[in-house]
Structure 1
């Protein structure tokens, strides 16, 4: 991922859009709340459409990660 990074000193290591303090989860929450990519770009002009699309791809990859050890009650 060229546009998503995680650094210890930025938001506790949560994935953000490179060069910003805008976390991937915020972009996903905004999309989930019904905002369009265009709406998000108006609210966060430092972002590009490619940043938002890469945030979605990043989240998609995380959702595909298999859990090795099942959690037992």
Structure 2
């Protein structure tokens, strides 16, 4: 799997620095909001055609690794 910077861009000039899928203006948060509402990954991709399936799957994989890491307590502290 490529590094996180291959999939996420944070630029103050793009949506005020909100993390977006690289090469798009689609916030990463939008993927998780869709999934939380029960909207399938395929529907998300239809709604946001600038996001490639590989990108979305990679972001989900990164989230999984972060949340199942043995260092979850450090992540938890950073998010608090």
Per the shorter chain, which TM-score range?
0.7 to 0.9
Aligned residues: 69
Q: In 2 relative to 1, CA 18–62 (structure 1 residues): closer, same or farther, beyond 3 Å?
A: farther
Moved over 6 A (4+): none
1 or 2 for the larger relative contact order (CA 8 Å, sep ≥6)?
Answer: 1
Structure 1 Cα separation of the partners of residues 62 and 14 of structure 2 = 18
| Structure with greater proportional helix content | 2
* Counterpart for residue 16 of structure 1: 20
Contact preservation (8 Å) 1:5, 1:18 = yes
Two-structure CA RMSD over aligned residues (Å): 2.3
Structure 1 Cα separation of the partners of residues 35 and 76 of structure 2 = 25
What TM-score do you get using the length of structure 1 for normalisation? 0.75
What TM-score do you get using the length of structure 2 for normalisation? 0.70
Gaps of 5+ in 1: none
